[in-house]
Structure 1
Amino acid sequence: MSEEILVNVTPRETRLAVVENGMLQELHIERGWRRGVVGNIYKGKVQRVMPGMQAAFVDIGLERAAFLHAADIIKPAPVPEGESDEAPLPPQPTRPIAELLREGQDIVVQVVKDPIGSKGARLTTQLSIPSRYLVLLPRTRVIGVSARIEDEAERSRLKTIVGALAPAGANVGYIVRTNAEGQPEEALAEDTAYLNRAWALIEQRCASARLGSCVYEDLSLPLRAVRDLMRRDVEKVRVDSRETSDRLKAFAAQYMPGLDEKIEPYTGARPIFDLYGVEDEIQRALQKQVPLKSGGYLVIDQTEAMTTIDVNTGSFLGQRNLEETVYRTNLEAAQSVARQLRLRNLGGIIIIDFIDMTDAEHKRQVLRQLEKALARDHAKTTVYDFSPLGLVEMTRKRTTDSLERQLSEPCNECAGRGTLKTAETITYEVFREIVRQVRQFDAQRLLVIASPKVVTRITEDESPAVAELEEFIGKSIRFQADEQYAQEQFDVVLL
């Protein structure tokens, strides 16, 4: 599989695309005025303790107070996307939040989820500091290995090396990341030394930092991508900024010797995203409907509670029988769903409504195809079996806003509903408002200002109703169209 990473840099925005076999799979965006804060460590102050929610609000200097749950104070540290701890700490009962925190208390916390919508950032007190091959876990002595490293001999080798490299007597643990597979002891030793220096510096800053200040900031998007996404199977990293390219090469040369040769500046005349068709893919990723090559299609609806994905056969008629047609469509849809989840950065609860199948083996194969397609996803996913209603429920870890919410805002006309009241509905709302105003206030005549479409309908299709209304209220009504008015907007003016 051919994989390339494309980096597009403009003065206030950096965009990074992961392209596999010529198809866009992931898109990451970082804007200078609104950088994500996931991974940052802050010295905060407890604002409010809420025993009823087993949580507290903490001021860390952001626009909104951040949220800290009692379970995030005592559970093992979170690990990066796609990593898991082989040897977690034993589960501990959650103590009452009032026993753990008090209002006004200073506390060092790390952001595990960006502010999303109206919700503040999500915090944990169990810190983790990632490097290329390892994750340092302060205040715990656990040593774990990513579950994605499946070879038992390699897992044992890595665990032995890291255990020997851990500073004697230091209260720190490590998670060995997937990228560490096959790496020599020297590379792991460099990472260990780097992480220990970083943690010592953080401890110094925590001692002297003022409340609400950031004591550790994660890398910028391009450097973070090189650290987390650069693997030996990545063919190229192409950057359309010479300055950023040089910075990435220097970073890779220091922490990933040999891989720096894969980073190269892009100097072509066409914009790099246009050359690879990424701009068109971004526009398509903002649409609800996703076409399938067979003629079927997906319909993706993102709501506050969950994301729903509906699979339809569309124009695909198949060649044998209905069950075979449905099975082929669902197999193709499973691959497309996995790609769309990565591309659109959809998270939380996801419900997939595959086309109904009666064959149990077909259902098993569709689930297997979905899980196989999700294997390359860096975010943690969990897929459940078909429900009695024929739905597939799954979850995908969400730490930042979806692509749609990063690039779009609710429509001013429909307020995010996705639909508008018809001109007929607005017409009768206007009539009711006229009656309401006349009963409350005295006036000789009335002026109604509305959108051209509504005024046209009233004056042409509803003229008999207007005459009856004028007779009923005993006053004349004049209508005026205004291009500045949205379809649902109108004013009744008493003259």
Structure 2
Amino acid sequence: MLHQTIPLPRDIQRPQEQILVNITPQETRVAVLEDSVVQELHIERAASRGIVGNIYLGQVKRVLPGMQSAFVEIGLERAAFLHIADVLEQRQHPTEPQRIERMLFEGQTVLVQVIKDPIGTKGARLSTQISLAGRFLVHLPQDEHIGVSQKIESDSERQSLKARMENLLPEGSPRGYIVRTSAETASNRELAADIDYLSRLWADIRAKSQTLPAQSMLYEDLPLAVRVLRDMVSDHTGSIIVDSTENYERMVEFAEQYVQSAAGKIERYSGNRPLFELHGIEAEIEKALSRRVNLKFGGYLIIDQTEAMTTIDLNTGGFVGTRNFDETIFKTNMEATYAIARQLRLRNMGGIIIVDFIDMDSEEHRQAVLGELAKALARDRTRVTLNGFTSLGLVEITRKRTRESLAHVLCEPCPTCQGRGQIKTAQTVCYEIQREIVREARKFDAKGFRILAAQPVIDMFLDEESQSLAMLVDFIGKPVSLSVETTYTQEQFDVVLL
């Protein structure tokens, strides 16, 4: 059957992880290693940290009955915006229209959470429905309902998770929870630890709301260094090495309070060489920004990211094998499966990924490659769906977008090629310049023209295109001079009238 969904195995043998945390005042970088090979990179910059998820004790500044909304001061430069659709009472009773002027009044203090960052001249958008994210659960302390992520499709699995939650929740505690997809493989001990952490967090927020003044921030989402302990540490984590004394102490304190299983795994790095350089992470970051990924036996991948999807093309390269051509192709495809899965994690590529394996005639080989790819993808902590070969011989993977890809965090569109990934040849630019001169000669009665361009373009005019330049001079009847501009890119030029 073509294009069928391939289930990912759950009982795979996972290698031990090592987590490295590199911290500077400007940014925090986290690398996850398996068998000393980098599998994941996470980067958070101080200048671009948003406020989504933060909880404030807001103060209503103005109620707008006509817009069914209100402006709420939360201590930022601009007042934040609260719409009736994001008020708890309306969310709990969506079929019963409410009036915001009956719920809020000017000067009232109200517990709010940011659901959208400020953009341009617009303030942040707020909600009065509080949600606290844990590792396996999302706590909705104002609700009394246990929900399960829609991504968990099995009815039996959904019912089993609900039953487990009912048994684990302490008597009399808030029972509003959403079970996240990651909870499918979580043990009862891990779920209980998450419940305990979220319950304590909510109790702390409520206590602060009783004592702090209006417009105070009651909760800020954890920085990356601490989120590592909440979201990434598992039974497969061997050690967590951090190169900052201050953050080491903060992580140990957090672990002892909320994630006791991680407390003994945190280590302070004090070596002379930078932590990431010592483990070869800097070189891996450079490789992860390249289109080409070389494989061990001579093959290579070409990875192209676009807005719509990511494409991965596999080539045999210099791998010639030892037996026959079919065996060479099969071995190259098998080797590529783990490289592809690693690159998805390393580059954090999300959305639709199309893989073009080398064509295989044998159905047995095709199934073996899919099976190996499924095993490789099963290690990913992000939700992944694998589909079989299409009629065109392509494999489709979908991977949930959890954050910006590595390339989007570290790079920007090339100013020379405007993000195309290629630039015009010097010869193409020469012909553009000649057309421009003809246009200018027809519009203006200049004494002559001077071409300002990059060195390769000027060299082209002096060598291969010298005859066409001479024909141009003869055609317009005006002299043309050449001048190199060292600051120009190959596509930049100016035609100056003399």
Pick the TM interval, shorter chain.
0.7 to 0.9
8 Å Cα contact 2:146-2:175 kept in structure 1 = no
Q: TM-score, normalised by structure 1?
A: 0.78
The Cα of 1:184 is off from its aligned counterpart by 8.0
Q: How does 1:299-378 map to 2 (within 5 A)?
A: 299-378=302-381
Unaligned runs of 5+ in 2: 1-14, 62-72, 105-109
The reply on whether 1:183 has 2:183 as its aligned counterpart is no
The reply on whether 1:295 has 2:309 as its aligned counterpart is no
Equivalent residue letter for 1:26: E
Equivalent residue letter for 2:476: I
The reply on whether 1:220 has 2:216 as its aligned counterpart is no
The Cα of 1:173 is off from its aligned counterpart by 2.6
Equivalent residue for 1:406?
A: 409
Matched residue count: 451
The reply on whether 1:484 has 2:490 as its aligned counterpart is no
User: SS of the counterpart of 1:7?
Assistant: strand
The Cα of 1:417 is off from its aligned counterpart by 1.3
- Of the three residues 26, 33, 47, the one matched with 1:12 is 26
The Cα of 1:365 is off from its aligned counterpart by 2.3
The reply on whether 1:426 has 2:440 as its aligned counterpart is no
1:156–1:131 CA distance, 2 compared to 1 (3 A): closer
Equivalent residue for 2:450?
A: 447
The reply on whether 1:193 has 2:199 as its aligned counterpart is yes
8 Å Cα contact 1:446-1:476 kept in structure 2 = yes
8 Å Cα contact 2:17-2:237 kept in structure 1 = yes
8 Å Cα contact 1:299-1:311 kept in structure 2 = yes
The reply on whether 1:416 has 2:419 as its aligned counterpart is yes
Deviates more, 1:410-419 or 1:426-435: 410-419
Paired with 1:442 and 1:152, the residues of 2 have a C-alpha distance of 80
RMSD (Å), alpha carbons: 4.3
Equivalent residue letter for 2:337: A
The reply on whether 1:251 has 2:262 as its aligned counterpart is no
8 Å Cα contact 1:136-1:195 kept in structure 2 = no
TM-superposition CA deviations, 1:416-461 (whole Å, max 9, x none): 2111111111111111000000111111111111111111211232
The Cα of 1:372 is off from its aligned counterpart by 1.7
The Cα of 1:295 is off from its aligned counterpart by 1.3
Equivalent residue for 2:107?
A: none
8 Å Cα contact 2:55-2:111 kept in structure 1 = no
The Cα of 1:128 is off from its aligned counterpart by 3.2
The Cα of 1:142 is off from its aligned counterpart by 3.4
Paired with 1:490 and 1:160, the residues of 2 have a C-alpha distance of 70
The Cα of 1:335 is off from its aligned counterpart by 1.0
1:360–1:221 CA distance, 2 compared to 1 (3 A): same
1:148–1:493 CA distance, 2 compared to 1 (3 A): same
Paired with 1:124 and 1:174, the residues of 2 have a C-alpha distance of 17
The Cα of 1:159 is off from its aligned counterpart by 2.1
The Cα of 1:156 is off from its aligned counterpart by 7.4
TM-superposition CA deviations, 1:266-324 (whole Å, max 9, x none): 01111111111111111111111111112111100011211110011111222333332
The Cα of 1:359 is off from its aligned counterpart by 2.2
Paired with 2:477 and 2:111, the residues of 1 have a C-alpha distance of 70
User: SS of the counterpart of 2:260?
Assistant: coil
Equivalent residue for 2:65?
A: none
Equivalent residue for 1:457?
A: 460
Equivalent residue for 1:32?
A: 46
8 Å Cα contact 1:249-1:263 kept in structure 2 = yes
1:133–1:467 CA distance, 2 compared to 1 (3 A): closer
Paired with 1:290 and 1:73, the residues of 2 have a C-alpha distance of 49
8 Å Cα contact 2:132-2:198 kept in structure 1 = no
The Cα of 1:171 is off from its aligned counterpart by 6.8
The Cα of 1:40 is off from its aligned counterpart by 4.4
1:214–1:306 CA distance, 2 compared to 1 (3 A): farther
- Of the three residues 23, 26, 42, the one matched with 2:37 is 23
Equivalent residue for 2:177?
A: 173
1:294–1:464 CA distance, 2 compared to 1 (3 A): closer
TM-superposition CA deviations, 1:216-257 (whole Å, max 9, x none): 431000100111111222111111111111110111011122
Deviates more, 1:336-345 or 1:391-400: 391-400
Paired with 1:419 and 1:231, the residues of 2 have a C-alpha distance of 43
The Cα of 1:189 is off from its aligned counterpart by 5.8
The Cα of 1:130 is off from its aligned counterpart by 1.9
Paired with 1:310 and 1:187, the residues of 2 have a C-alpha distance of 43
Deviates more, 1:285-294 or 1:392-401: 392-401
User: SS of the counterpart of 2:47?
Assistant: coil
1:107–1:486 CA distance, 2 compared to 1 (3 A): farther
1:166–1:206 CA distance, 2 compared to 1 (3 A): farther
1:241–1:252 CA distance, 2 compared to 1 (3 A): same
8 Å Cα contact 1:154-1:182 kept in structure 2 = no
Q: How does 1:147-162 map to 2 (within 5 A)?
A: 155=161, 158-162=164-168
1:188–1:352 CA distance, 2 compared to 1 (3 A): closer
8 Å Cα contact 2:453-2:493 kept in structure 1 = yes
User: SS of the counterpart of 1:287?
Assistant: coil
Paired with 1:73 and 1:320, the residues of 2 have a C-alpha distance of 68
Paired with 1:21 and 1:166, the residues of 2 have a C-alpha distance of 45
8 Å Cα contact 1:144-1:159 kept in structure 2 = no
The reply on whether 1:379 has 2:382 as its aligned counterpart is yes
User: SS of the counterpart of 1:461?
Assistant: coil
Paired with 1:156 and 1:136, the residues of 2 have a C-alpha distance of 14
1:132–1:165 CA distance, 2 compared to 1 (3 A): farther
8 Å Cα contact 1:18-1:24 kept in structure 2 = yes
Paired with 2:470 and 2:191, the residues of 1 have a C-alpha distance of 90
Higher relative contact order (CA closer than 8 Å, sequence separation 6+): 2
The reply on whether 1:472 has 2:475 as its aligned counterpart is yes
User: SS of the counterpart of 2:329?
Assistant: helix
